[in-house]
């Protein structure tokens, strides 16, 4: 849709919630000043001879306000497939700036959803309602959070897609004065769930970009589509979005990610070793019996699971590239004196290429089935997540390099860097590439100082400004109306 409506003052969706660590009050435009704002401004200032945007382009976003927004988002971390607050916040922000919104139930088909825990979703739904998300909006989101926000300039041009992740991770946030969110009072209020991967910064940057696009609407052509993806953690959310066909008319898709382990001020234009991965849940079903009076009649699912875990962890390395294997969870049994009849196991394999990953997956399935047969139990498997390797393009890498060099806080751009992790955004990129479009993935360094408690669970907030600027320059380059 073409929009020329003037922005309204954005009121918080999460109403009447107390502040600080005990609540989830969230706003998107009336953003307060924050401590260390002056330090942030100094760390992200553009060089005097290098403005962060091209002449004539407006920047309506204040860096300190963007940092404040990131902190508000951090407070309300949500688990994958239960990101109702995050969806509500983004919907409000994009609608205020004139974007067309499509909610999860309108583009996510249940038959393609992977790794969704219905009980956790209900906990997330209650958490969102307790923290002020209106009942009407909860009904609109239904069982599937996530959204697509689109701006159509009404002028011919390309369609650019930007992926934004919503979920946190199921880990407990550190309670230590060495941990910035705890020290400054913006730790997650959801016990056992926190933003430990930078997705809070990604959402803040996206809200800033909505304002940037509205402010520069007359200078843009084509369409821009923000794909706000649930359940990136565990590589679960991209597959059903891919199946929905929302990428069929996309000319370029870009994924950007803050890297807490990468030096602050560094941008990587085309990371390598984004690993292919498959996430597998196994269920072993045996036969219960009394361990004292009738042990011979039982079929021990626990032992089958344990044997399978050892066999899978012993998978050989691969001559064609690096591999990763992990058995993350194994739960089994009913009681001390009962031969265990059930066991559940969570496994992941990763490979440097799709071929390596497929080999590992096939062998893991064979070994689990073999362990089950040896103990006379049944083994069922379920694929709950996947991602593939990233294949960069020279032209997109060069474009991202140019865009990043203008960004505030960027001191160097590296052509590549070893990730050694997975991101299911690669599925979205590959689909666009297969259809003749372009795809890119870049990293923004956000490593904290060496005195931080755990750099892997937080990042320097200056990285949010660098991320925002890189995106803004990319939009300018791809959709700028230069005629």
Q: What is the pLDDT of residue 481?
A: 82
State residue 30's pLDDT score. 35
Residue 248: CB partners within 8 Å, gap ≥ 6? 435
Helix (H, G, I), strand (E, B) or coil at 457: helix
List, in order of start, the domains of the chain with CATH numbers: 63-274+390-479 (3.40.630.10), 276-387 (3.30.70.360)
Residue 446: burial class (beta carbons within 10 Å; 0-12, 13-18, 19+): buried
Residue 288's contacts (CB-CB under 8 Å, 6 or more residues apart) are: 298, 334, 338, 339, 340, 341
DSSP state of 197: S
The pLDDT value given to residue 43: 65
350-359 exposure pattern, b = at least 16 Cβ within 10 A, e = fewer: bbbbbebbeb
Q: Which of 369, 180, 226, 348 is nearest to 280 (CA)?
A: 348
Q: Which two tokens mark 106?
A: 């309108």
Q: Which pLDDT value is given to residue 37? A: 45
Query: Would you say 103 and 59 are in contact if contact means Cβ atoms under 8 Å apart?
Result: no
pLDDT for the residue 47: 62
The pLDDT score that the predictor gives to residue 44 is: 67
pLDDT given at position 41: 60
Stated as kind and residue range, the H or E segment containing 157 is none
> Where is 390: in which H helix or E strand?
none
Instruction: Give the angle subtended at the CA of 119 by the CAs of 27 and 110, to the nearest 5°.
Output: 85
Structure tokens at 188: 């997650």
| Distance in Å from the first CA to the final CA of the chain | 21
pLDDT tens, residue order, the chain (483 aa): 433 333 333 344 454 333 333 333 344 443 333 444 445 665 666 665 679 999 999 999 999 999 999 999 999 999 999 999 999 999 999 999 999 999 999 999 999 999 999 999 999 999 999 999 999 999 999 999 999 999 999 999 999 999 999 999 999 999 988 888 999 999 999 999 999 999 999 999 999 999 999 999 999 999 999 999 999 999 999 999 999 999 999 999 999 999 999 999 999 999 999 999 999 999 999 999 999 999 999 999 999 999 999 999 999 989 999 999 999 999 999 999 999 999 999 999 999 999 999 999 999 999 999 999 999 999 999 999 999 999 999 999 999 999 999 999 999 999 999 999 999 999 999 999 999 999 999 999 999 876 544 545 799 999 999 999 999 999 999 999 875
CB atoms within 10 A of CB 6: 7
The pair of structure tokens assigned to 77 is 């971390």
Looking at the chain, the whole-number percentage of residues with pLDDT higher than 90 is: 85
**Inter-residue contact 284 to 304 (CB < 8 Å):** yes
- CB neighbour list of residue 343: distance below 8 Å, 6 or more residues apart: 283, 284, 286, 301, 302, 304, 305, 330, 331, 332, 333
Q: Whose structure tokens read 């989830």?
A: 24
CA–CA distance, 275 with 254 (Å, rounded to integer): 17
Place of tokens 């991202």: 400
pLDDT for 3? 39
Which pLDDT score is estimated for 35?
44
239, 243, 244, 248, 303 from 436: Cα distances, Å: 19, 17, 18, 10, 50
Residues 6 or more apart from 103 whose CB is under 8 A from it?
A: 87, 91, 140, 141, 142, 146, 147
pLDDT on residue 42:
58
287, with CB counted inside 10 A (0-12, 13-18, 19+), is: middle
Q: How far is CA 229 from CA 24, 136, 143, 149, 436, in A?
A: 21, 21, 14, 11, 23
The pTM of this model reads: 0.90
d(CA 378, CA 420) in angstroms, rounded, equals 34
């Amino acid at each position: 849709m073409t929009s020329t409506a003037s922005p309204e003052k954005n009121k918080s969706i999460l109403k009447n919630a107390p502040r600080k660590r005990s609540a989830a009050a969230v706003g998107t435009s009336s953003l307060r000043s924050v401590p260390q704002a002056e330090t942030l401004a100094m760390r992200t200032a553009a060089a005097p001879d290098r403005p962060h945007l091209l002449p004539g382009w407006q920047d309506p976003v204040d860096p300190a306000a963007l940092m404040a927004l990131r902190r508000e988002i951090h407070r309300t971390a949500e688990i994958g497939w239960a990101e109702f607050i995050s969806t509500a916040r983004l919907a409000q922000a994009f609608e205020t700036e004139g974007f067309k919104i499509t909610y999860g139930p309108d583009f996510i088909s249940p038959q393609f959803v992977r790794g969704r825990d219905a009980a956790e979703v209900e906990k997330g739904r209650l958490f969102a309602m307790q923290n002020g998300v209106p009942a009407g909006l909860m009904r609109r989101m239904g069982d599937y959070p996530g959204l697509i926000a689109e701006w159509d300039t009404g002028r011919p041009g390309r369609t650019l897609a930007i992926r934004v992740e919503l979920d946190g991770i199921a880990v407990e946030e550190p309670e230590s004065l060495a941990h910035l969110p705890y020290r400054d009072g913006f730790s997650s209020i959801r016990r056992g769930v926190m933003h430990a991967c930078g997705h809070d910064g990604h959402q803040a940057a996206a809200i800033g970009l909505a304002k940037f696009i509205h402010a520069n609407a007359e200078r843009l052509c084509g369409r821009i589509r923000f794909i706000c993806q649930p359940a990136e953690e565990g590589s679960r959310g991209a597959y059903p979005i891919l199946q929905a066909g929302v990428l069929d008319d996309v000319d370029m898709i870009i994924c950007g990610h803050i890297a807490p382990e990468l030096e602050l001020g560094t941008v990587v234009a085309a990371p390598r070793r984004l690993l292919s991965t498959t996430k597998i849940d196994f269920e072993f079903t045996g036969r219960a019996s009394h361990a004292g009076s009738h042990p011979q009649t039982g079929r021990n699912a626990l032992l089958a699971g344990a044997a399978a875990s050892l066999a899978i962890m012993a998978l050989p390395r691969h001559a064609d590239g690096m591999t990763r294997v992990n058995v993350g969870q194994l739960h089994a049994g009913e009681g001390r004196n009962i031969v265990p009849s059930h066991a559940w196991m969570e496994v992941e394999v990763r490979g440097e290429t799709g071929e390596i990953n497929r080999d590992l997956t096939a062998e893991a399935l064979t070994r689990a089935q073999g362990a089950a047969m040896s103990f006379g139990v049944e083994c069922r498997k379920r694929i709950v997540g996947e991602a593939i390797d990233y294949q960069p393009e020279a032209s997109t890498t060069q474009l991202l390099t140019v865009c990043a060099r203008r960004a505030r806080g960027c001191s160097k751009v590296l052509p590549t860097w070893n990730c050694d992790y997975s991101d299911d955004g690669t599925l979205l990129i590959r689909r666009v590439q297969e259809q003749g479009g372009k795809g890119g993935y870049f990293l923004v360094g956000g490593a904290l100082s060496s005195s931080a408690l755990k750099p892997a669970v937080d990042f320097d907030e200056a990285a949010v400004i660098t991320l925002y600027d890189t995106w803004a320059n990319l939009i300018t380059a791809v959709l700028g109306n230069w005629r």
